[in-house]
Structure 1
């Protein structure tokens, strides 16, 4: 199937590793011109060199000023942005009962504000050209809040509410807005969470991972390229009638529909 992505310009936030890299690789394989973004210039340049038509943009996407500078660079190098993939680091683990006011505010600052800044920069052009894809890399915690991830659960749910509202507002302009929710995908971030769980519970990392696999009907962690393939579809021309959706890529981990 031709996904209709050849020549499309894709801004993939935090794409030097993990799920962001998996999405960038999938989009590049489909012919998109991808901007690899990250704070470490050398790492961004290394990744971009491995992908056809990709460019590296070193930027701090945690601030509106950093987002504005990055978008300006991408548009200068590649042209108007057709696809924006919202992605970034997750917050530290923690229980809801121990959540302080500052930590609660950090959920918004880390998981909503930077993504809103990126959307605000690229959306007007998408609407004017009547073609655009906004895709947020979320978490299955949007559907079923995950234990000991109170900050993440709070911030990601807020982002999902904003994006679902936005999807209805821009549908007539042929701009789709979706979320892709990973379950246990074999990334450094998941390995970090597993290690933290092992330390907290006083058991081995192998035991934590075995327990996790038992909760997944597929009985395994997902591979980054599987997540990337789902993302490429949601960003594609053939997915033009799919909007306002939170699609889970989790091997059946969340048992609700």
Structure 2
């Protein structure tokens, strides 16, 4: 299928590794240009050296207004077609293992910057009469995980924001969706495996094996598989899909609407 992404322009946050890098790469392979964002510009330049003519780099942490200012400026410099909100998650822990400093930090890391950036960029897409907004969250928004209290709470809040925003911008040709990944073989899964390892007193390999056995397809997903779905949601083919939270989890969520 031709996704018709050639010569379109996107913003991908957290593009130096994992889902962000895979999504940016998929868009570039489809002929799009991408504004890639991460804290380390040198890593971005290395990762996307083969696509230097298709990429713009914004270096900085997403929790800082200066970085969001730079993204907004880059987006405003020419027509753009979509944005991927993606970044790492907060520390693991049960509710009673957290304190208010953890909650304040997680609010900044998981939710606040996404709302800020969305409120900056949505009007530009509305003015264009077309756009795609995609939030990368977690399967925990559908089935909370005992050791991911901070993620459970704030990622669910992002879904509530995205769903509400979707109804406001839909008449203007802008879609807003959420991807809810389960276990994927990316750097982000390391903290979850190590948390399980520590709590159960087993080896890292045993904890990883247990996780894979708990997934109906008996393996973790790949970032490339995830990116192919993201690319479709960022394409014009997905124009009738909005306000949705779509799982990519190998069947791990047990509910009817997983």
Instruction: State whether structure 2 residue 177 is matched by structure 1 residue 169.
Output: no
Contact 1:34 1:55 in 2 (8 A): yes
How far 1:43 moved relative to its partner?
Answer: 0.6
Task: Give 1:75 deviation, angstroms.
Answer: 4.2
Aligned to 1:24: 24
Q: Distance in 1 between matches of 2:123 and 2:116?
A: 12
4+ runs deviating over 4 angstroms: none
Distance 1:98 1:192 in 2: 16
Match of residue 230 from structure 1: 229
**Which residue matches 1:14?**
14
Matching residue of 1:5: 5
- Comparing 167-176 with 30-39, greater Cα deviation is found at 30-39
Contact 1:16 1:47 in 2 (8 A): yes
The match for 2:180 is 181
Contact 1:68/1:121, CA 8 A, preserved across alignment: no
Corresponding residue for 2:40? 40
Q: Under a length normalisation based on structure 2, what TM-score does the superposition of the two structures give?
A: 0.94
The TM-score with structure 1 as length reference comes to 0.95
Aligned-partner Cα distance in 2 for 1:82–1:231:
14
Matched, 1:66 2:67: yes
Q: Secondary structure at the match of 1:50?
A: helix
**How do 1:76-225 residues align onto structure 2 when only pairs under 5 Å count?**
76=77, 79-225=78-224
Q: Is the 8 A contact 1:45 1:55 kept in 2?
A: no
Question: Per the alignment, do residues 159 and 173 of structure 1 end up closer, same or farther by CA in structure 2, a change over 3 Å counting?
Answer: same
Deviation digits for residues 23-73 of structure 1 (CA, Å, limit 9, x no counterpart) = 111111112111121111111111222336122221221123321123313
Structural RMSD (CA):
1.4
- How far the C-alpha of 1:192 sits from its partner, in A, is 2.8
